[in-house]
Structure 1
């Protein structure tokens, strides 16, 4: 169910996209082929291809054709081009520089699965080049990046999907969870706990030459200049085939320079559902309290004092005061998932189960017809890409839009700032700034490295 503000925004964006197609907005670039003929099979390109990049591409070949890939690692690029041809029987062009993808007239939309520190620059430049955008979560590295993306979506009228796939889960557990809450099955919500798991630190990781085929300077991009680091031991299982301890492939999630640790990884999934359930998509917390936390290295003034080890939190318990005074607890302890507690009951949901007495009661007292669809805002799409393409055709925004995503991600970003500074933060969700703390507010943005500024 959309809030009035969300509905107004969507109506604006329909008007904005029509104006953009007519050339009434500066910097929107040429209209995509998808705008000109919405019944055609859209043409996509993927930027950033390891792991999740291929995952979202392979799920999307049912709905779209892929004309191009871009990745700064030649080995990753080559392997994925081969996989695509094997899967679809069609060849795509490969590039190291994503800007060559954005220059193509035949690409309707880009899917972005680079490390987090690249998301905003590529997303903004893609929209200004006339492309719709699907970008993996977490969308941003800082809160101010989120505000910039919102402004560019409004300016260009582009469709923008964020890859928080729990909003479009095929078994609908999370949608059913929100439907239970909206139907009053647990009464008024009194507490929400998001278990997102902890992390581990690392040994000292030496600086070495980057592997052949990897453009390390371009991989760093907007992030601060740094040495490539890795130990010989290799990762196995998911994300395997790269060093277990490194500041590059896969392990970049453990470094604040490129990501936000577990808080922005699993937190971007579960805090999203919790915020949605609380009806706080257009608001946010008023206070963030770091009850306990453990950092793997020493910090001074919010910055790690060494550069040779992982630096994001390994354990934590954060209390966020949400609208209505409802506490949202984000913890590294307990089961991975979300526990909703209300005046009339409680239940737990994650990707494997939806459990508790209110759930058991559905057998004799099912949800009203259409309750899940009401949460989703209409018929539930087959998957996230299908929802994205539907939104491209209608020129609306999809189920996981940039505004709701940024609002929930602000809670995660603020939690990380509170941990880094070791103190409670008061947040003004209307002004979207930290109250009375200039040092903390300095963490809402970060200057890009020279030569990698966003091209507006």
Structure 2
């Protein structure tokens, strides 16, 4: 398994995403946590947003609870989930408006798989209605929304698990990487890189008539009223700033999160954001796209986010998707199918597993269960989930700041992570929130 490079004494280790990863952690896989196995009753669930990712999340959740209701503004999506043999089982009620679900006493928890611009409002409304929530990433459209969510979680004491499953799944390769960094195996960290891939562009997208069964006004929610085009809707919403943040929030929610986690920055953020290069597919003026008929999120980029201790986090599109930690004694690269380790400091990984106490700390005291199982375990014992709102808000803040800097002409931003404000730049601070259509405001 070990090989030496021809010109030096560097040792190199690749750990595939398999049971071997857990062995390196000194753990063995678990089928189900005691908290879940001990429950005689199964939670009653509702699915809000039954598109592709919502469907996958619901299938995973169906191992632990039973769906009694489904809501989607696209009736075809709702009916498909209702008739699915793992989700609605042809018995669940379907609704167009998610608020009908929150009024029900027979719903314990909701799974939210809507487009990004709906996440925060639905999560807040659900938690205020007494429901626990599993919500897809990225959790927010703006930094202000993250602060509101954090406030409501603290006030309601509901469980909110973010769908950043790299904190739990993929055979724990990300947990292993973070544990190795946190335990000092590669020494002081000099730089971290989060590679998240480039975004797409499009040609002109002419308006069309919304298909039957799609409530386009309700789909838009807080976003501005515009004519329907299929490429604004469903999976392609990610490439419009009106509804998402492009690759910087879509995949940044994963690998920037891992970078924050490894650096122990779950409760803080960078102090400066610098755009080293970036391209937008349309012209922008004062932070807003001048064309409305095509994708508008960044296609390529390289961002340098520097923390108070001087460690830079590079977010880029042009190297292999994953997170790279570079330390004084070696490197650790992790992606979903493997972890690569370089340097003598990690050569004894199997002989000297990372400390059990650290693994427990990284999991908030929970066993190494899957992401959805972790959510239901926390619903049962009211513990802190693996992907909590506090850490997610901080890592996504870095992603949002990168987008703000790009939208404002690649402007350097100075960020105060304590006050959560951009220093000395009123125009940039205005982008910490968004204008919202009447009737769809996000209110904590």
Fold conserved between structures, TM > 0.5: yes
Task: Specify the SS of the correspondent of 1:250.
Answer: helix
Task: Specify the SS of the correspondent of 1:289.
Answer: strand
Alignment of 1:31-180 (within 5 A): 40-83=41-84, 85=85, 89=89, 91-180=91-180
Contact (CA 8 Å) 1:180, 1:367: kept in 2 or not?
A: no
Unaligned runs of 5+ in 2: 1-34
Number of the residue aligned with 1:225: 225
**Pair 1:425 & 2:416 matched:** no
Residue 206 of structure 1 deviates from its aligned partner by: 0.3
Q: Deviations over 1:265-300 (max 9, x none)?
A: 000000001001101111100000011000000000
Number of the residue aligned with 2:240: 255
Distance 1:199 1:368, change over 3 A: closer
Number of the residue aligned with 1:315: 300
Task: Specify the SS of the correspondent of 2:232.
Answer: coil
Residue 384 of structure 1 deviates from its aligned partner by: 1.3
Task: Specify the SS of the correspondent of 1:325.
Answer: coil
Residue 377 of structure 1 deviates from its aligned partner by: 3.2
Residue 451 of structure 1 deviates from its aligned partner by: 1.9
Task: Specify the SS of the correspondent of 2:282.
Answer: coil
Number of the residue aligned with 2:14: none
Contact (CA 8 Å) 1:44, 1:109: kept in 2 or not?
A: yes
Number of the residue aligned with 2:376: 389
**Pair 1:366 & 2:352 matched:** yes
Contact (CA 8 Å) 2:44, 2:65: kept in 1 or not?
A: yes
Distance 1:147 1:368, change over 3 A: closer
The whole-number CA distance in structure 1 between the counterparts of 2:211 and 2:225 is: 17
**Pair 1:416 & 2:408 matched:** no
Distance 1:87 1:434, change over 3 A: closer
Number of the residue aligned with 1:441: 429
Distance 1:411 1:369, change over 3 A: closer
Contact (CA 8 Å) 2:117, 2:141: kept in 1 or not?
A: yes
The whole-number CA distance in structure 2 between the counterparts of 1:414 and 1:76 is: 33
Q: Deviations over 1:181-203 (max 9, x none)?
A: 12211000000001000012101
**Pair 1:205 & 2:205 matched:** yes
Number of the residue aligned with 1:299: 284
Contact (CA 8 Å) 1:168, 1:380: kept in 2 or not?
A: no
Task: Specify the SS of the correspondent of 2:138.
Answer: coil
Residue 368 of structure 1 deviates from its aligned partner by: 3.7
Residue 209 of structure 1 deviates from its aligned partner by: 0.6
Distance 1:67 1:320, change over 3 A: same
Residue 90 of structure 1 deviates from its aligned partner by: 6.1
The whole-number CA distance in structure 1 between the counterparts of 2:238 and 2:350 is: 44
Residue 397 of structure 1 deviates from its aligned partner by: 2.3
The whole-number CA distance in structure 2 between the counterparts of 1:289 and 1:105 is: 49
The whole-number CA distance in structure 2 between the counterparts of 1:86 and 1:319 is: 44
Contact (CA 8 Å) 1:283, 1:323: kept in 2 or not?
A: no
Task: Specify the SS of the correspondent of 1:341.
Answer: strand
Number of the residue aligned with 2:196: 196
The whole-number CA distance in structure 1 between the counterparts of 2:222 and 2:257 is: 26
Task: Specify the SS of the correspondent of 1:385.
Answer: helix
Distance 1:452 1:89, change over 3 A: closer
Unaligned runs of 5+ in 1: 1-33, 231-245
The whole-number CA distance in structure 1 between the counterparts of 2:170 and 2:319 is: 25
Q: Deviations over 1:349-394 (max 9, x none)?
A: 0001101225971456332452534432334343112111111122
Distance 1:200 1:170, change over 3 A: closer
Contact (CA 8 Å) 2:272, 2:415: kept in 1 or not?
A: yes
What is the aligned residue count? 405
